[in-house]
Structures are given as structure tokens and as C-alpha cells.
Amino acid sequence: MTMIRSWVESANDPAGDFPLNNLPCGVFSTGDEEPRCGVAIGDYILDLTALEEAGILRAADLPVFDVPFWNDFMELGPVAWDELRGALMDLLAEGSPHRETVEPHLVPQAGATLHLPVLISEYTDFYASQHHAMNVGTMLRGAENALPPNWLSIPIGYNGRASSVVPSGTDVRRPWGQLKAPDAELPTFAPSRRFDIELELGAIVGQPSGHGQPVTVAEADAMIFGFVLLNDWSARDIQGWEYQPLGPFQAKATATTISPWIVTRAALAPFRVPTPPRQRPLLPYLAEPGPMNYDIALSVSLAPEGGAETVIARTNARELYYSAAQQLAHHTTSGCPMNVGDLLGSGTISGPTKESRGSLMELSWNAKEPFPVAGGTRSFIEDGDRLTLRGHAQGDGYRVGFGACAGRLLPALDDPYARKDG
């Protein structure tokens, strides 16, 4: 696959995230205007709400872009998804006869505010990178017992909180919580001292499944509308004390940041790759009918307050042992219904090398090996640090990019309960 050229000149930059091949879906606003739906093209956003109002674009009999989220459009299903992609290609391709009518509806990305692209129905987070599971397991339980006995059979997950999902650019406040040092007898209530990130891919579910109706991996794949970058902010010290026996709870509920553009499954189709070799045969319901992972280069950068950005990790989404389709299929085995707007986090994506670890806990080996950043070293996140995830699939002379998934850590409040006394 090569670059599909557009009359929007900036879309033809081989190093740009948003060529015509991509057309990712977002929600944006400018000035005091209401947020509306758009797709990124080069340095611009094409205003789909305006195109629909003007009668230039029509996805269904009734308007679907008159709301500040993509859920109504996703509900239309895969045929409508393909038709919109085709219609946008037609409007934006080099030599298109529609340039004059479309061009007034391009909005510069610089100066636009990006919002959550979907109403997140529910949020589930998984644990699908074997290198991450091995690293964390080794630190917590030793190398012999690193991988839990179920890990090679089940896509492990927990039900997270949709309410705490925020768009890139939102500041995150260091949380308070129950902490207990390994040698302490009792816990204290204090600000988290080991606050971390998790580099993940988020799958956006665009079609529902029925209550009591498990879906196959192939059906699950067809239900996925697209992907975002996802930072699962994690308080390791809160997690260490609370996680047994029901898994993470408050450690993961402060915030989850997602990148503002949904890169569609169609745009990523040329970059499909198989999951890694199975180390134990999977049960038949988890078998993949074809390659369902994606070759997406990923990075994490850290910039101290007022300091320069350092890339602290580089890895690839192809490291995931379970694909999003396998996770989604497994999620329905109990009969659990999935909804339009469901968000599935992949789990932290770590590779085999030291530089390819997707969390600070792994990069610093639980603070035993601090790593260098501009002006110092880090084990965990310090107040004022800005963490940025980036990702792109590399085509022949073009890339399909996600844009940035960034957030800055603000210092903890003074005791959040103190002002409630008396």
C-alpha cells in the first residue's frame, strides 16, 4: 500500500500522522462553538457536522453528526463505516471535483480543542503483553512464579471505570490512597509515591453484542470500529496493598487518558500481523481466523516541568499475545453484552528488551535502576512531569499515526479530607 494523495497538501507529508489513508475520527471545537465531529487530514480537521448540515455528506437518512460524539455513526454498522471512508476519499483525493465545496469546511488543527471522540459506555482493561506480565511477575513473585498459571489460557482483565477516561491534554492529579510498605504492619492514608503510566492500545467497540450471546473472534473483530492510544495511569503503591483478591481498584481509577483520534480498523488493515507463537494451545473459541494484531510502532516520552522531552521507551503493538478481537470474544463468553462505545485497554505493551518496557515500574525495575531523563533520573513520575504516548503504523512512503496521548501530573492536594472536618 502506498500513499493516497490529497489536494490538502499537508496530508502528503510522508512523516505526517494524517494522510488520506488514515482519516481518523475525532470531536473538536474552536472558540466558543459547540464541539462537533471531524476527521483529521494533514494539518486540518474536516468538519463533518458542517458537511452533513450543508448536505455535502450523508451517512444515513437521519443526521448522525449533529452530536459531539461518534456513537450514533458507529451504530450504523460496518457497511456505513466503509461508505463514509469511500465518500471522504472521493471528496479529498488529489484532483477531486469537490474541492471547492469541501475546502471551506477545513479547520486548522492548531487552535482547535480536541475532546473525547466517543461517549465511553464502559471500560475494561486487559493484561495481554507477556513481557509485561513476566517483568511485573518477576518483581512481585520471583522469576519461577512470574507468569500466573492461567495467563497462557485466558486474556486476563478487570472491569475499569468509564467515568475516569479523559482526553489527551487533561492534567492528572496525584491521588491519595491506602499505602502499606512491605515492612510496615498497618497502612497509612497518603499521596501515592509510586505513580506510574501504562502504555496501551485502546479498542473502541462500534457494534453491540446481545445479552447472553457470546461472539466468535471473527465476529468480535468485525465489531471493532477502531483504536486509540491509552495511558492507564497506575498508583503502584495503592495497587500493591489493595489488589488481592479481586484485582486493581482505586490504583487504576484516578484517570485513563486516550488519544483524541480513533484510527479506524480500515485504516490499519494493511498493517495486520499475527499474534506471537502460542506457548500453550488455546481453547478453540479463542482461535484467530487470520492475523488480528497490528504492527504499530509505539513510544513513551517524559518531559519534566520546564524541561526537554526524553523518549524513555519504544515498543510495538505486535508484542501483544492476545489481540483485541480475542479479548472482546473472551469478554462475551459469560453472556456479558457489549455496547457501542465500549473501550478495551490492551494491557501494558512491553517488548523483550530493557528499552521496550511500557511502564516506569519496569523501566526502573521497581526503583532499583533509575533511568535518565532531561535534568535528572526517574523511578516513578514526579510532580509536573508530562508523559506522552505516540504511535504510528509505517506504510510505503506514508504513515498512519494516532497523534499524541499526553498528560501532566499535578501535585497531590493537601489532605483531601481535612477540609471536610468540622
Q: Which residues bind Mn ion (CB under 5 A)?
A: 125, 198, 232
Q: Which residues are catalytic?
A: 132
Residue 197 or 267 with smaller CB distance to Mn ion? 197
Q: How far is the CB of 205 from Mn ion (least distance, A)?
A: 17
- Please count the other Cβ atoms lying within 10 Å of the Cβ belonging to residue 311: 13
Name which of 373, 394, 265, 263 is nearest 313 in CA terms: 373
Residue 21 or 129 with smaller CB distance to Mn ion? 129
CA of residue 305 relative to chain centroid, distance: 24
Q: CB-based contacts of 144: which residues, under 8 Å, 6+ apart?
A: none
CA angle 196, 197, 201 (to 5 degrees): 160
Q: How far is the CB of 237 from Mn ion (least distance, A)?
A: 16
Q: Decide if 224 contacts 206 (C-beta within 8 A).
A: yes
Residue 198 or 319 with smaller CB distance to Mn ion? 198
Q: How far is the CB of 252 from Mn ion (least distance, A)?
A: 7
Residue 201 or 217 with smaller CB distance to Mn ion? 201
Cβ-based burial of 5 (10 A; exposed 0-12, middle 13-18, buried ≥19): middle
Residue 109 or 234 with smaller CB distance to Mn ion? 234
Q: How far is the CB of 159 from Mn ion (least distance, A)?
A: 12
Residue 198 or 221 with smaller CB distance to Mn ion? 198
Q: How far is the CB of 132 from Mn ion (least distance, A)?
A: 9
Name which of 266, 319, 264 is nearest 131 in CA terms: 319
Q: CB-based contacts of 311: which residues, under 8 Å, 6+ apart?
A: 299, 300, 301
Q: CB-based contacts of 381: which residues, under 8 Å, 6+ apart?
A: 195, 196, 197, 302, 360, 387, 409
Q: CB-based contacts of 217: which residues, under 8 Å, 6+ apart?
A: 285, 286, 287, 288, 289, 292, 323, 325, 326, 329
Q: How far is the CB of 347 from Mn ion (least distance, A)?
A: 6
Q: CB-based contacts of 241: which residues, under 8 Å, 6+ apart?
A: 178, 179, 180, 187
Q: How far apart are CA 326 and CA 342, in angstroms?
A: 15
Q: How far is the CB of 200 from Mn ion (least distance, A)?
A: 6
Rounded to the nearest 5 percent, the helix, strand and coil shares of the chain are 25, 30, 50
Residue 71 or 346 with smaller CB distance to Mn ion? 346
Cβ-based burial of 99 (10 A; exposed 0-12, middle 13-18, buried ≥19): middle
